[in-house]
Amino acid sequence: MTTHPSPAVLGRYADRDADLAEVTIWSVELHLETCADCRAALTTSGDDLLARIATGLDTAIATGPASAPRRRWLVALHRWFVWASLPWLTVSLAMLGCAVLIQWMLPGFPKLVLLLAPVAPLPAVAGAWTRRFDPSWELLAGTPAAGLTMLLRRTAAALAVIVPALTLAGFQTGTPLAMGLLPCLAFTAATIALGAFVGVRRAAAGLGAAWTLAVITPTVLTTHLPAVLQPGTAPVWALMTVALAGLAATRAGHLHRLISTS
């Protein structure tokens, strides 16, 4: 620690016009680097430069043009929700509405809401990640934010509409909640995981067709609820959801180009 420079030397150091030997300037600067007290003395000893700048800035801000209006809700909405998936969400909601109506008219029939729950989110997930539905895809696809995170964000926005609708439909028809929601989440995760290999739209179409052929059609023909939808299978669906979500997370690199293949 060097000795403290006298207030007079500090004052001359701060004064632009004062003449101070270069060696003295060096020693003062070396000392100032290590001594907080002298730095404080330096800022108060000279003229009130900082205070003048602060008042000047305050008046400039007060008299200058007002800051641009911001509509945060609109921007936030676009970060999560993609308008292009709105028609597909409507399709899903209409499907669930029909299922509830049929349930009312045919009480003896196996629960249609249960049958439709896995495929309900698929149109919206596909709509959230398909080039031809989003007018600004070419701008989005070249940005660093495009990828699994964006797909997940958009899927979450779609699920935020589908899950309450599904809960409501299940409540109306007396369906066990877990058996309505778990297959829905499992199929969403499966779409994303499979989408990393073949493209999200193709994955959604394939899974939807497979479920329709393998489960919905036989059930409608035989009017017996299939084994995969019995209440006891809930833990299996939960496990599948977790496993598929994990698989999707490891395939994030495949989803950088908005379409995952070619």
Q: Which is nearer to other proteins, 68 or 221 (CB)?
A: 68
Q: What is the 3-state secondary structure (H, E, C) of the chain?
A: CCCCCCHHHHHHHHCCCCCCCHHHHHHHHHHHHHCHHHHHHHHHHCCCHHHHHHHHHHHHHHHCCCCCCCCHHHHHHHHHCCHHHHHHHHHHHHHHHHHHHHHHHCCCCCCHHHHHCCCCCHHHHHHCCCHHHCCCHHHHHCCCCCCHHHHHHHHHHHHHHHHHHHHHHHHHHCCCHHHHHHHHHHHHHHHHHHHHHHCHHHHHHHHHHHHHHHHHHHHHHHCCCCHHHCHHHHHHHHHHHHHHHHHHHHCHHHHCCCCCCC
Question: Which position among 58, 65, 78, 218 is part of the footprint of other proteins (CB under 8 A)?
Answer: 78
The pattern of x and - marking residues 14 through 53 that bind other proteins according to CB under 8 A reads: ----------------------------------------
> Does residue 71 touch other proteins according to CB under 8 A?
yes
From 157, 149, 147, 146, select the one nearest 121 (Cα to Cα): 157
Question: Which position among 19, 22, 65, 69 is part of the footprint of other proteins (CB under 8 A)?
Answer: 69
Instruction: Identify which range of 18-26, 108-116, 140-148, 171-179 contacts other proteins by CB under 8 A.
Output: 140-148
> Does residue 83 touch other proteins according to CB under 8 A?
yes
Q: How far is the CB of 221 from other proteins (least distance, A)?
A: 41
Q: Which is nearer to other proteins, 96 or 151 (CB)?
A: 151
> Does residue 64 touch other proteins according to CB under 8 A?
no
> Which pair of structure tokens corresponds to residue 14?
């701060």
Question: Which position among 53, 138, 160, 246 is part of the footprint of other proteins (CB under 8 A)?
Answer: 138
Q: Under rule CB under 8 A, which residues in 217-256 are in contact with other proteins?
A: 253-254, 256
Size of the site for other proteins (CB under 8 A): 28
Q: How far is the CB of 134 from other proteins (least distance, A)?
A: 7
Question: Which position among 126, 146, 215, 240 is part of the footprint of other proteins (CB under 8 A)?
Answer: 146
Q: Which residues bind other proteins (CB under 8 A)?
A: 68-69, 71, 74-75, 78-79, 83, 134-147, 253-254, 256-258, 262
